[in-house]
Amino acid sequence: MNKMQTIETKRMILMTMPVDFIDKLIVNDDTAYSDYNIVQTDEWLKNEFHEIIVKIREGMTEEKEASGFDAWIFIDKADRTIIGDGGFKGEPDSEGRIDIGYGIVESRRGEGYGFEAVSALIEWGFRQKGVKIITADSNLDNTASQNLLEKIGMKRIKSDETLVYFELKKNQYTGEPYDSIWFRRLTEIDLKLMAQWFNTDFVNEWYKMDDTSYEKVSAKYLPRINGEESTECYIAMHFDKPVGFVQTYFIKDYPDYNKYVQADDKTAGADIFIGEEEYIHKGWGAIILKKFIYEVIFCKENVNSCIMGPEPENTAAIKTYEKIGFKYLRTIRNPEEDSDEYLMELRKTKTKFL
């Protein structure tokens, strides 16, 4: 198999098309799909896209793989089928412009896949050197596509008899933070990254570990990864970038701690830290925590509330939790941690989602 670039979103893997994949598609060789563990369907690769990939292949050699400024396919994680395609129509021009396009197979439209894919591609595009503006166009009667582009933040700049034209400048791009965050379970592979995060001052200030070596981090989190402890640990992802850590547990499962908290059987605990410095003090903590509560903790039928216990001096965390809707309960002293905890609670019935 040849090299390719990938972007992982909550529901999809976006993949550039390698040379060998394209070559087999052009000659209708079905092993193109099995080579990359993709399930073939009759709905994708219509005639018009077949013509496009022939043109894409003309600009590629065995040495020059897909740059990312060309075509991507959208693979559904659940069933490994291709549910759409899109990408860019060449590298940045002299003004730093690239043009984006996309399409979703008919049976999967209206489910948010277009928004998810285009958001990820725009995020990727603005991370590339020299990209200053991303443009797009939509058929005049395709209001769904126009609404999607505007939701992402693109501005209408002109229209003609057939098309509406959009653009988004890098210095105006804010993204869709809530929709771009997703969670995956912590794995053993992540422990090296966790150790790196614990060795940063901004993490260790409030999420303390006396020994932040890889060995100690592994000793603490491997039992949770392997299911030997009931705490569920997750990596918070911003598109395909790991940016932080969150975990949840039933407080009743830790009786030594619960004798101070006095939580009932349906109360969950949660902890969070941001691991990437560029995401600190920019509102990402509130976005990540609120989405985690909505998509993980409060999706459990046997959870009625969530309690968090920042240190009283951690005013930034307290303000973040208040912004989400947490209310102060009481301050407790946890002798095992040798610190006070400013207990805050969010009731399931009181949650206001973004």
CATH code for the domain in which residue 89 is found = 3.40.630.30
Q: 241 and 151, same structural domain?
A: no
pLDDT band at residue 354 using 50, 70 and 90 as cut-offs: very low
| Residue 46 confidence (pLDDT) above 70 | no
The pLDDT tens digits of the residues spanning 1-18 come to 557 889 999 899 999 988
Q: 80 and 64, same structural domain?
A: yes
For residue 1, tell me if it sits in a domain. no
| Residue 64 confidence (pLDDT) above 60 | no
Q: 209 and 190, same structural domain?
A: yes
Confidence (pTM): 0.66
pLDDT > 90 fraction of the chain, expressed in percent and rounded: 71
The pLDDT tens digits of the residues spanning 320-343 come to 999 999 999 999 987 777 789 999
Residue ranges making up the domain that contains 64:
6-175
Q: 267 and 155, same structural domain?
A: no
The pLDDT tens digits of the residues spanning 123-160 come to 899 989 999 999 999 999 999 999 999 988 899 999 99
Q: 244 and 147, same structural domain?
A: no
Q: 161 and 43, same structural domain?
A: yes
60-74, 191-205, 271-285, 300-314, range with the lowest pLDDT = 60-74
Q: 253 and 115, same structural domain?
A: no
Q: Look at the chain and report how many structural domains it folds into.
A: 2
pLDDT average, residue stretch 113-128:
93
Q: 242 and 149, same structural domain?
A: no
What pLDDT is stored for residue 157 in this prediction? 95
Q: 54 and 113, same structural domain?
A: yes
8 contact partners, CB below 8 Å, separation of at least 6: 14, 237, 239, 240
Q: 33 and 143, same structural domain?
A: yes
What pLDDT is stored for residue 62 in this prediction? 57
Q: 144 and 18, same structural domain?
A: yes
Mean pLDDT over the full length of the chain: 90
Q: 226 and 190, same structural domain?
A: yes
